Amino acid sequence: MNSRIRQDVSLIGVPMDLGADRRGVDMGPSAIRCAGLESRLEQLGYAVHDEGDLVVRRAKAYSSVPESNLKYLYEIVRVNEELAEAVAGIIARKRFPLVLGGDHSIAIGTLAGILRHKENVGVIWYDAHGDVNTADTSPSGNIHGMALAVAMGYGHPALTGIGGERRKVKPDNVVIVGSRSLDPGEQRFLKEKGVTVYTMHEVDRLGVSRVMEQTLDQVTRGTDGVHLSLDLDGLDPKEAPGVGTPIPAGMSLRESLLAVEILSDAGVVTSAEFVEVNPTLDIRNETAKIAVELIASLLGEKIM
């Protein structure tokens, strides 16, 4: 979608913090709304339908499955099942799904909903982390660090079964951009599955424009849509401090704006989510404001 196409946008908030190590990202959807998201999109000519927030319940920390170390497994599964239904419904109504997190475990439900309509979706995972751990490799048991692996069909059956669909994201259709913190198990997984990764080393060496052009070439090759999953910790914490797992030496705001502007110009993004805004760690809601800037640029806002 780009500035030449005006499709209705449906917002859905997922105030989930169960997949993360620390509290606070459950307030992310509210913070992004308070930063003026709806009015900004309306100024761009969109009809915005705010679907409200899903309900996330507090739960016992560990699953009752003895061999599992996955924290809050069953509540995360329940919420993501509901999210998959909601996203699938939004697409059925010919609207652009814009999901606001919440921790990155919500991508499991977003992608499950998308895959009900798309056979072969491309995924851009803009993130400091790879999020391809499983219960066997995760040092923490936090499911937000497993979401991309689950979307590709790897992980606990309760997670990979979300959405009730056998269709999964194909590793060849995934590109991770901006990573700079990968666990050893994630490194092995990404190499074994052949997932393309542009670490900050490649971003610095090649430049954002070339990285995004190569990313677009890959995620549009034979696909029927592109999903952008943008974790605000992909940005440098000096500019976006309000995230749960900040990693130094990340993408600048200007680099990130250029990245989404390139995606906007290409007109291929069919769904998006923005996650991991943590207002309790933020300064004057700056990170939520950055999220709004990035969303507006993705959906066609131009300087001129």
Would residue 255 show up in a list of annotated catalytic residues for this protein? Answer: no
Annotated binding residue 129: yes
- DSSP alpha helix (H) spans, 35-169: 37-43, 73-92, 107-114, 147-151, 157-160
Two structure tokens written together for 11: 């917002």
**Per the residue annotation, which of 53, 81, 82, 144 is the catalytic one?**
144
Asked whether residue 104 is marked as a ligand-binding residue, the answer is yes
Contact call for residues 143 and 70 (beta carbons, < 8 A): yes
Catalytic residue among 26, 103, 104, 261: 104
282 is in an annotated binding site: no
Q: Please classify residue 39 by burial: count the beta carbons closer than 10 Å to its beta carbon, then call 0-12 exposed, 13-18 middle and 19+ buried.
A: exposed
| 172 has catalytic annotation | no
Closest CA to 226 of 270, 177, 174: 270
Residue 131 designated active-site = yes
Annotated active-site residue in 17, 26, 103, 129: 129
Instruction: Please check if 231 is assigned to a binding site.
Output: yes
Q: Which of 26, 103, 231, 273 is catalytic?
A: 231
- Which of 17, 75, 82, 233 is labelled catalytic? 233
Of 26, 127, 186, 301, the catalytic one is: 127
The DSSP H or E segment spanning 260 is helix 253-266
Is the Cβ–Cβ distance between 18 and 56 less than 8 Å?
Answer: yes
Annotation says 233 is catalytic: yes
Q: Is 104 a catalytic residue?
A: yes
User: Is 231 marked active-site?
Assistant: yes
Residue ranges for the known binding site for Mn(2+) are 104, 127, 129, 131, 231, 233
From the annotation, which residues make up the binding site? 104, 127, 129, 131, 231, 233
Active site residues: 104, 127, 129, 131, 144, 231, 233, 276
